[in-house]
Amino acid sequence: MPAKARPLLAIAAGLILMATACGADDERPAASRTAVTASPAATRSADAAPSLAVTSPVSGTTVDGNVVTLDVEGDGISLVKADGDTSGESGHLHVFVDADPVAEGETIPQGPGIIHSAEERITLYGLATGPHRMAVVLGDGTHRRIHGDVEANLTLTVAGPTVDVSSPPTVAAGQPLTADITVDGISLVKADGDTSGTTGHLHLFIDREPTPAGQPIPAEAGIIHTAEPTVVVPDLPGGEHTIFVVVGDGAHVPLEPLVADKFTVTVG
């Protein structure tokens, strides 16, 4: 959806921003972005044939908000971060959102709609309202698809509300980052105490995890509070930055179910 021209909100340069180096297993899809945290290697039965299953949510589910957590159960392979191993005995997960997986032996790219993870619990952020299909497959330590007959599929419908961020993947050093944010199903207003869930405002968490559900979002360094749909963030240091956008109510508490998106930007 084309971004409409909005007044820019210049954010004071006094933010203390802590750069986070994101591993090769974290990647933001443009339409469906994710937060993926790699876990220690999960050792599987050496005798079992590789298999994958999504145990939650149940296929066909309708979810409120626009954040979904997939619980994936694997067997017959050790799940580890991409480490170059091509033996087929270890690998990691790849979720294709609203896209067909690549064929066995092909390299799985990093980009929109593809999530790389060594963790069996994967949270998808920024899903749009409507139906979605997802396929989970295995890749080796060089991101080539392995065990082509092993695939877990599900469909689900997102009911909303939703938030979606449009931002450039890279920014030149010394230049500000501009993010255009679209919210559907919520009226953006300044914090006014309303906790009905029909209004809210935006919170940008820069290189830090969002506030847990039910807890007020503080006003402190690294968190931007705004009711403006276009946000300008100046003075990001060089390197890769991970930013969460969370919709909170008039009391600065994240909406439940969660309405959030995640994106990364590289400065340099």
Provide CB contacts within 8 A for 151, sequence distance 6+: 52, 101, 135, 136, 137
Q: Which domain holds residue 48?
A: 33-160
pLDDT value for 12: 32
Contact 101, 115 (CB under 8 A): no
Residue 4 lies inside a defined structural domain of this protein: no
For residue 18, what are the CA distances in angstroms to 24, 92, 235, 241, 260?
A: 19, 28, 12, 8, 21
Min mean pLDDT across 5-14, 97-106, 154-163, 251-260 is at 5-14
Task: For residues 266 and 243, give the distance between their C-alpha atoms in angstroms, rounded to a whole number.
Answer: 11
Q: How confident is the model at residue 48 (pLDDT cuts 50, 70, 90)?
A: confident
The residue type found at 75 is: D
* Per-residue pLDDT tens over the stretch 203-213: 999 999 999 99
| 118 DSSP β-pair partners | none
13 and 59 assigned to the same domain: no
DSSP 163: E
* Per-residue pLDDT tens over the stretch 61-105: 999 999 999 999 999 999 999 999 999 999 999 999 999 999 999
Structural domain count of the chain: 2
Of residues 14 and 253, more confidently modeled: 253
Q: What's the pTM?
A: 0.80
49 and 137 assigned to the same domain: yes
136 and 205 assigned to the same domain: no
Last residue of a domain, one of 160, 176, 205: 160
Residue 2 lies inside a defined structural domain of this protein: no
**H or E stretch including 192?**
none
Here the CATH number for the domain that contains residue 177 is: 2.60.40.10
Task: For residues 254 and 260, give the distance between their C-alpha atoms in angstroms, rounded to a whole number.
Answer: 9
* Per-residue pLDDT tens over the stretch 191-250: 999 999 999 999 999 999 999 999 999 999 999 999 999 999 999 999 999 999 999 999
Residue 144 lies inside a defined structural domain of this protein: yes
Helix, strand, coil percent values for the chain (each to nearest 5): 0, 45, 55
Task: For residues 185 and 197, give the distance between their C-alpha atoms in angstroms, rounded to a whole number.
Answer: 10
Find where tokens 């971060």 sit.
81
188 and 93 assigned to the same domain: no
92 and 170 assigned to the same domain: no
Going 202 to 207 to 208 to 210, the CA torsion angle's sign is positive
Residue 28 lies inside a defined structural domain of this protein: no
pLDDT value for 47: 63
250 and 134 assigned to the same domain: no
Last residue of a domain, one of 129, 160, 191: 160
154 and 170 assigned to the same domain: no
204 and 224 assigned to the same domain: yes
